[in-house]
Structure 1
Amino acid sequence: PIGVVLISGGCALSGAVSSLPAMAAWSGVMGLGHLCFVIGAQSIVARQSAPAEQDRNFGHFTIGASVGQLIGPIAAGALISGESGALGRTSALALLVSAAVCAVALTSLWRIEHRRAPGPRATKRPAKVPVTTILGARGVPAGIFISMAVLSSTDILTAYLPVVGEHRGIAPATVGLLLSLRAAASIACRLAMTPMLRLLGRNALLTTSCLLAGLLCAGMVLPVPVWALAVMLAALGFCL
């Protein structure tokens, strides 16, 4: 709930301020809220899932996030208009509406976790594992680096595709649809994840998808028509 409050407040105040330092500060509040929410939500999924259910439940969680990324750009694109110099005003409106939608989400968060009673043997808590031990485990640093690269690519795409679209004369509503197409492809990828892992293996799938995603990100700068951009974004969403 604290994360959702920070996201909602950061959105609302970002839409209300007019100075760059204030917008940067409230953007930081939004980022902190997002971090709090994701850590809390992922912890709940881990605690509420039996070992055999974790892949499935985390898949459902990330599909839910992708559905939000699919709906959000379409809704924002419908609100934002670049006509008669109104882009700043309508972008602020989109942020305020986002804050309101986020605030409504609070109504579903108070009883989201069912606390389990400790078993008869759960008298002694397990010892905490030092962070250095976790970071030293094989595959963890590489996994962190890949996660940073993927999330950075997604955020840069979301932030700068509207700028590319404005430069090429693509309407904001169309840009919203393009971003939603990327999110829809990421849902399709998660549904196909198990057979792909069975066919290629985890390491080969990671390597191939990261390589293709990098090439497709670079391809965003090419002066291609909108339909080709849509195809590239769908492939990029699937790979990321």
Structure 2
Amino acid sequence: MSDRGAIHWPLLLPLLAAAALLQTTVPLARVATSYQAVDQGMSLASIGLLSSAFALLPVLFVVRIGRYSDRHGEAAVIVTGAALVLAAVLGLWLASGGFPLMLGFTLLLGIGQVMTISALQVATTRCSAPESHDRVLGNFLIATALGHATGPLLLTAVTPTGALSPGSALFPALAGAAVVLMLAAALTALRMPAHIAPPSDEKPPALRAILAQPGMAVTVLASGICLATNDLIMVFLPALAAARGIDAATVGLLLSLRAAASMASRLLFSQLVRRVGRVRLMTLAILAAGLTSLALAASLPVWALALVLATAGYTMGMAIACTISVTMLLAPVSSTATALSLRMTANRVGQFLIPLGAGATAASLGPGSPFIIMGTGLVACALAVRRIR
């Protein structure tokens, strides 16, 4: 990032802050909800249903969100999404108690998250000239990975020593993070350049036409499988750890290690793309992530579990970065947000359907079985994406 003149830093900096805060708040809220469900004696199948609920509403609205962003700009979408995240966190904290309320606020959290992250992704293209987009995207992905790493550290900080569930200070800390997210989102929106809307009589490309772009459909599918797997590791690791007697503080450190490895992968993203190529890099990363997911099903000591999770974080971070980059590259210029929304739709469909099957499998075969499902799906996905030309 030595060519500072090519990047619009007054917009990029608050955008990166919002991305990091979003990825601190939302995943940690979901982990907190999982622990809340365990403390209330809910089944693994119920935990899987809560994870699926997180994806339900965005599936219905995400394409419309993308269409709105393409025509009206991302500023309003960023602020509205952050406000929904704040409302969901406050609801999970202040109205906690009982599955229906947890389900409702998890739904709200899901749609707020997808609105914010999708609009922020498109906003990265406003921060630089086209030749610097990969570098800006790399910085954006580093910020999201930093958020993923910060959340588990916060979990560790508020968990009493040796306790199997976090302390009562977790939700107030989450609420504070959500408030700061709201401020960063508002500052990002204020610094967004004026949006140039397409002519009112110009019809946007049909969704089928966007998916018909060579390589787009399989990239979108790969993204959905990768994100669902990434999500399930976070959701089911607490249950796996509890079954093996691993305390919550250690779980927080393991999740932070995984997130730090994911962040490290983004530091090398643009260099590896230039040397290896997007498709080959995506194939290798997805394959390696699948093999490490399969390894999580084994009964590993904590040190080995840490090594596997770090490898999974690095390879999965690289794979997800590739799917975003390829999607933006293949999308028609006037429909970047819509193409990313299709990717988000695939992500949410995967996050909705796969946890249902994983939760049911875990209920009958044990907490290690979801990782077998994840790993198998990723290996199959790697075989599919290698055919992209």
TM-score between the two structures when normalised by the length of structure 2: 0.56
Q: Which residue of 2 aligns with 1:34?
A: 113
Relative to structure 1, the CA distance from residue 72 to residue 123 in structure 2 (aligned partners, 3 Å threshold; closer, same or farther) is closer
**For the Cα contact (< 8 Å) 1:77–1:176, is it kept in 2?**
yes
Query: Residues of 1 paired with 2:230 and 2:280: CA distance?
Result: 21
Letter matched to residue 216 of structure 1: T
Q: Which residue of 1 aligns with 2:298?
A: 222
Q: Does 1:67 align with 2:146?
A: yes
The percent of aligned pairs where both chains have the same amino acid is: 29
Deviation at residue 110 of structure 1 after TM alignment: 2.4
Q: Which residue of 1 aligns with 2:356?
A: none
Letter matched to residue 15 of structure 1: W
**For the Cα contact (< 8 Å) 2:135–2:270, is it kept in 1?**
no
Deviation at residue 99 of structure 1 after TM alignment: 2.2
Query: Residues of 1 paired with 2:152 and 2:85: CA distance?
Result: 17
Query: Residues of 1 paired with 2:217 and 2:121: CA distance?
Result: 19
Relative to structure 2, which stretch is displaced further, 218-227 or 95-104? 95-104
Q: Secondary structure at the match of 1:128?
A: coil
Q: Which residue of 2 aligns with 1:104?
A: 180
Q: Does 1:143 align with 2:222?
A: no
Q: Does 1:5 align with 2:100?
A: no
Relative to structure 1, the CA distance from residue 129 to residue 48 in structure 2 (aligned partners, 3 Å threshold; closer, same or farther) is farther
Query: Where do residues 59-138 of structure 1 align in structure 2 (5 Å cutoff)?
Result: 59-81=138-160, 87=165, 90=167, 93-112=169-188, 113-116=191-194, 128-138=204-214
**For the Cα contact (< 8 Å) 1:77–1:172, is it kept in 2?**
yes
Query: Residues of 2 paired with 1:5 and 1:114: CA distance?
Result: 18
Letter matched to residue 92 of structure 2: S
Relative to structure 1, the CA distance from residue 172 to residue 84 in structure 2 (aligned partners, 3 Å threshold; closer, same or farther) is closer
Query: Residues of 2 paired with 1:20 and 1:136: CA distance?
Result: 41
Q: Does 1:47 align with 2:123?
A: no
**For the Cα contact (< 8 Å) 1:9–1:99, is it kept in 2?**
no
Query: Residues of 2 paired with 1:53 and 1:84: CA distance?
Result: 47
**For the Cα contact (< 8 Å) 2:162–2:249, is it kept in 1?**
no
Please list the CA deviations of residues 46-74 of structure 1 after superposition, one character each: whole Å capped at 9, or x if unmatched.
Answer: 23332112111111111111101001011
Q: Which residue of 1 aligns with 2:335?
A: none
**For the Cα contact (< 8 Å) 1:73–1:179, is it kept in 2?**
yes
**For the Cα contact (< 8 Å) 2:234–2:255, is it kept in 1?**
yes
Q: Secondary structure at the match of 2:192?
A: coil
Matched positions, count:
234
Relative to structure 1, the CA distance from residue 199 to residue 50 in structure 2 (aligned partners, 3 Å threshold; closer, same or farther) is closer
Q: Secondary structure at the match of 1:224?
A: coil
Query: Residues of 1 paired with 2:243 and 2:195: CA distance?
Result: 58
TM-score between the two structures when normalised by the length of structure 1: 0.88
Please point out which of 151, 166, 172 is paired with 2:248: 172
Q: Which residue of 2 aligns with 1:197?
A: 273
**For the Cα contact (< 8 Å) 2:126–2:193, is it kept in 1?**
no
Please point out which of 41, 46, 57 is paired with 2:136: 57
Deviation at residue 28 of structure 1 after TM alignment: 0.7
Letter matched to residue 187 of structure 1: M
Query: Residues of 1 paired with 2:288 and 2:257: CA distance?
Result: 17
Q: Secondary structure at the match of 1:66?
A: helix
Deviation at residue 225 of structure 1 after TM alignment: 0.8
Query: Residues of 1 paired with 2:230 and 2:198: CA distance?
Result: 44
Relative to structure 1, the CA distance from residue 83 to residue 196 in structure 2 (aligned partners, 3 Å threshold; closer, same or farther) is closer
Deviation at residue 95 of structure 1 after TM alignment: 3.1
Structure 1: 5+ residue runs without aligned partners? none
Task: For CA contacts below 8 A with separation 6 or more, give which structure has more relative contact order.
Answer: 2
Please list the CA deviations of residues 194-236 of structure 1 after superposition, one character each: whole Å capped at 9, or x if unmatched.
Answer: 3322333222211111111111112112111111111111110
Letter matched to residue 236 of structure 1: A
Relative to structure 1, the CA distance from residue 197 to residue 58 in structure 2 (aligned partners, 3 Å threshold; closer, same or farther) is closer
Please list the CA deviations of residues 75-133 of structure 1 after superposition, one character each: whole Å capped at 9, or x if unmatched.
Answer: 11222349688x37x3x642342122111222223232332487xxx995765222221
Q: Secondary structure at the match of 1:115?
A: coil
Query: Residues of 2 paired with 1:26 and 1:123: CA distance?
Result: 36
Query: Residues of 2 paired with 1:174 and 1:27: CA distance?
Result: 25
Letter matched to residue 75 of structure 1: L
Please list the CA deviations of residues 130-150 of structure 1 after superposition, one character each: whole Å capped at 9, or x if unmatched.
Answer: 222101111111111111111
Query: Residues of 1 paired with 2:86 and 2:194: CA distance?
Result: 30
Relative to structure 2, which stretch is displaced further, 71-80 or 27-36? 71-80
